[in-house]
Copies of this chain bind each other. A is one copy, B any other.
Amino acid sequence: MANHMDNPATIKDIAKRLNISLSTVSRALRNAPDVSEETRQAVMSLSQELNYQPNRLALSLRQNQTHTIGVIIPNLDYVLSQMVRGIDEVALEAGYTVMVCQSNESFGREILNTQRLLESLADGFIISVSSETKSFEHFKKIQDRNLPVVVFDRITPHLSAPSVRLDNQAGGFMATEHLIEQGYKKIAVLAGPENLGISNSRLEGYKQALKKHKIKLDQDLILHCDFNQDYAYYATLELLSMKKKPDAIFTISDRMAIGAMLAIKKKGLQMPTDIGLVGFNNEPVTGLVTPAISSVEMPCFEIGKAAAKLFIETMHNKESATTIEKILHPKLIVRESSLKFSA
């Protein structure tokens, strides 16, 4: 049995015990061709006995790579958890370890995370940008070091890197068109922070749908508010107090949809009769509340997997174009909250 040593066995230990040189051991261990069967056997069996594990630190130092991917994300909510699972899945299989850092939607924290991960010598980065972030110097530093970066979900034009994302505009479009087809006339939209790409794309889809159906765009029906439930609640109360009150609301996240729902109930209005509601993300909760909320489904797990795959590819082929843009497609899940013409 392995004697109770604190310190893991090293190549040196094996070499000493076998009275051969370090290099021979190293070769035997890595199945190099030029080592006698006899020595190899001896090395192998002893290394098993000593429970030898190569020291990744030494390896990394030598080869100048850590087989670690730095993942920076704004939070660990439902959507991103799923995506991280996808990343994890692929990365693990490819022999990479993942370091996940949450920025908590904080710009400063994002910089700190980048810094730390850079210090830890991650081989590259998979990033979803915080909503607070408007400057991208910290990410540029990564690229200055010539490390591969993949951005996903919340991408940004300010960072030129291969990317994976949802077709957010299509999502916004299908949500809005669905409401139009259900006979809603005055459709408001709760958009997210103005500087956020996904927010604007979904909003763009909304506008596109109105245009297609020849509905005049009313700026008063577009509200930008923070990505969370409370803001959405108050924004909705505001909307519902307008003279020319909307008869439907599209929110660009489910958190916001929940906030809107609570406000609608507070006002004593009924969904889907008085007012229609469609959210975004298709979080499980949308199917559980009453009425169940229609939502745009996003293939989170797949997006995560795609991001990791793209990363690995970029890694193995450093010259690859930074213009690769992988776009996955949303799907509308219709539930009660928007089903005016129910079956």
Bitwise interface map of A from 139 to 163 toward B, beta carbon under 8 Å scored 1, else 0: 0000011100000000000000000
Q: Given A145-B6, A145-B8, are A85 and B60 also a contact pair (CB < 8 Å)? A: no
Residues of B near A117 (CB, < 8 A) are 97
CB of A267 closer than 8 Å to a CB of B:
no
On chain B, the residues within 8 Å of A118 by CB distance are 53
The docked-state distance in angstroms from the alpha carbon of A88 to that of B109 is: 12
Residue of B nearest to A54 (CB): B119
Shortest Cβ gap from A268 to chain B (Å): 15
Interface size for A (C-beta < 8 A) is: 43
List chain B residues, Cβ under 8 A from A55. 61, 121
Q: Please report the C-alpha to C-alpha distance between residue A100 and residue B104 in the assembled complex, in whole angstroms.
A: 16
The answer to whether B289 and A121 have CB atoms under 8 Å apart is no
Interface window among A38-46, A76-84, A308-316, A326-334: A76-84
Q: A99-B97, A144-B4 are in contact. Are A92 and B112 (CB under 8 A)?
A: yes
Contact, CB under 8 Å: A76 / B66:
no
User: Digit string of A282-296 for contact with B (CB within 8 Å is 1, else 0)?
Assistant: 001100111000000
> Contacts of A100 on B, CB cut-off 8 Å?
98-100
Query: How far is it, in angstroms, between the C-alpha of A8 and the C-alpha of B102 when the chains are bound?
Result: 25
Copies of this chain, whole number? 2
B120-A97 in contact (CB<8A): yes
Q: In the complex, what residue of chain B is closest to A77 when comparing beta carbons?
A: B81
A128 interfacial contact with B, CB 8 Å: no
Across the interface, name the chain B residue whose C-beta is closest to A118. B53
**Inter-subunit contact A120/B56 (CB<8 Å):** yes
Q: In the complex, A92 Cα to B112 Cα: how many Å? A: 9
User: Contacts A121-B57, A285-B285 hold; do A6 and B290 have CB atoms under 8 A apart?
Assistant: no
Please, which residues of chain B bring their CB within 8 A of the CB of A116?
A: 92, 97
CB pair B6–A56 under 8 Å, yes or no, is: no
With A and B bound together, what is the CA distance between A66 and B56 in angstroms? 11
> Once bound together, how far apart are the Cα atoms of A323 and B117, in whole Å?
34
Set of chain B residues within 8 Å of A53, measured between Cβ atoms: 118-119
Q: Is A68 an interface residue (CB 8 A)?
A: yes
Inter-chain contact B102/A99, CB cutoff 8 Å: no
Cβ contacts under 8 Å, A60 to chain B: 57
Q: Which listed residue, B61, B76, B92, B146, touches A84 by the CB 8 Å rule?
A: B76
- Nearest Cβ in chain B — how far from A119, in angstroms? 5
10 closest pairs, A vs B, by CB? A76-B81, A290-B290, A57-B61, A6-B146, A285-B285, A100-B100, A288-B289, A56-B119, A57-B60, A99-B99
Q: Which residues of A contact B (CB under 8 A)?
A: 4, 6, 8, 53-58, 60-61, 66, 68, 76-77, 81, 84-85, 88, 92, 97-102, 104, 112, 116-121, 144-146, 258, 284-285, 288-290
Extra inter-chain contacts (9) besides given A4-B144, A289-B290, CB under 8 Å:
A6-B146, A54-B119, A57-B60, A76-B85, A84-B102, A85-B102, A88-B102, A97-B99, A285-B288
